[in-house]
Amino acid sequence: MSKAKSEKADLKSAEYQAAETLLMPQATGVEKSMLAMMAIDPANVISRCISDGMTGDYFYVPAHRLLWELFRSRYDKGVGIDPTSVAQELLDHRQLEAVGGHAGLMDVFSYATTTALYEQHFEILKEKYIRRAIILTSNKAADSAYRQEGEIEALLDQTEQEVLHIRQSAAKGAEWSLKADIQSAVDNLERMMSSGGEILGMSTGFEKLDRMINGLKGGELFVIAARPSMGKTSYLLNIIEHLILDLQKPVLCFSCEMPSVQLVERLLYARSGVSKAKLQDRRSSITKEDMKRLSNAIVELQKSRLIIDDTAAISISELRAKARRVQREHPDLAAIGIDYLQLMRSHTKQAQNSREREIAEISGGLKSLAKELNLPIIVLAQLNRGPENRTGKNKGAPMMSDLRESGAIEQDADMIGLLYRKKYYAETDEDREEVGDDATLILAKNRNGPTGDVQLTFTAELMRFTTRIVSEGEEEEG
């Protein structure tokens, strides 16, 4: 063996020896102090521990973890915490020796401390817990990486989730969250009372839809479903256009089907009002006004904060990882759009054996991501051939049951909009002329509001939907 290789081997050996001598982060004295405080003033100290999010994992010593669980249980039952009754309960459950017997128990109860040290000692325990959690998560990830088991995307996603869980679990617990939620609810109530009908969430650009869903709100999953060629991608882009250009919000768009450049072209046609056909037709006269509108649309889009990812067949784990990264880079990210759900993939073993299970994992993953990032997610979905099989006046009219692998999607979605155009199903020129460019978004599910129809007009050459004004009689009939 060469000298260089020998030195490298010795160095690696030294690293392993150092790792073996390292101790898990711990503060056993502080753990005893915290338990002693609980015995001194259980009503105050234990309630603060619970509200601050303490769990058994905050205690490194198994005996201390056992005592914490027992103290909390007795506190919940309103039973006192004294050495005699605690020792008897441990004895009854054959756990006294697990805490070091009577001597170990008295060591905790007699530990010299004061409740004035609560905040300082709590922070120390939390810090040690976080450090241990990071070490355990890293070791678990390293072990899985060495074994080379499962898909790499799944391993990355799982590791990222566990790290995020450590950060979330380090935050304050139930009492703090409840207070924050109550305050948010009060703020919303005050806004509703003083707004005079103003929506709580972000506008979609479609007034009636905004009224029905009360705007796009964080944590909600909005599924827009349609048969091919109904214009669902255009509808999603119309909403995104409103968010990024009119409201000047950053939006992340995943395009599983269409290259990003085509999405940008569609946005430019819709925004400028200059159609692709007009630009391509040499016989058409492009006016200075057309060029000005197109130029303005280009400048607007360049200034916008639209992020497009056109990865084909993106997996739910990869999408979640990218969304988290984008939100870190753009903390004010307003929404996520996805085109479309059935083109996504899940690489878990269960998903490989069942398409229905795969769709369930994808829709469930999108809903949990919306809650995790506190963002509205608008996802397009494909309908099966059910609308084509209907006859008479209902021909082409979609239903929620037409959603492919619909069970999980129906359950996870907060809102489901079914988009269709009667013209597509008209059998004669006369029928097509009668319905014209009419389109309808059927809001078939709305978890927190009414359902009903949103009447639209679709301008195909500009790939733009606009609100269609209808008479009261026509609206009631629809």
Q: What is the distance between the alpha carbons of residues 295 and 298, in angstroms, rounded to a whole number?
A: 5
**Are the CB atoms for 125 and 34 separated by under 8 Å?**
yes
User: Which residue among the candidates 257, 265, 372, 410 is catalytic per the annotation?
Assistant: 257
Question: In this structure, what token pair is assigned to residue 372?
Answer: 């995790």
**Are the CB atoms for 229 and 258 separated by under 8 Å?**
no
What angle (nearest 5°) sits at the alpha carbon of residue 252, between those of residues 360 and 158? Answer: 45
Question: In this structure, what token pair is assigned to residue 316?
Answer: 């739910």
Q: What is the distance between the alpha carbons of residues 270 and 300, in angstroms, rounded to a whole number?
A: 13
Cα torsion for 453, 457, 460, 465, to the nearest 10°?
-70
Measured between alpha carbons, how far is residue 144 from residues 19, 139, 152, 157 in Å? Answer: 19, 9, 10, 13
Q: What is the distance between the alpha carbons of residues 155 and 142, in angstroms, rounded to a whole number?
A: 10
Active site residue 257: yes
Q: What is the distance between the alpha carbons of residues 360 and 11, in angstroms, rounded to a whole number?
A: 49
Q: Can you say how many angstroms the Cα of residue 379 is from the centroid of all Cα atoms in its chain?
A: 12
Please state, as a whole number, how many other Cβ atoms lie within 10 Å of the Cβ of residue 473: 8
Q: Which sequence positions are flagged as catalytic?
A: 257
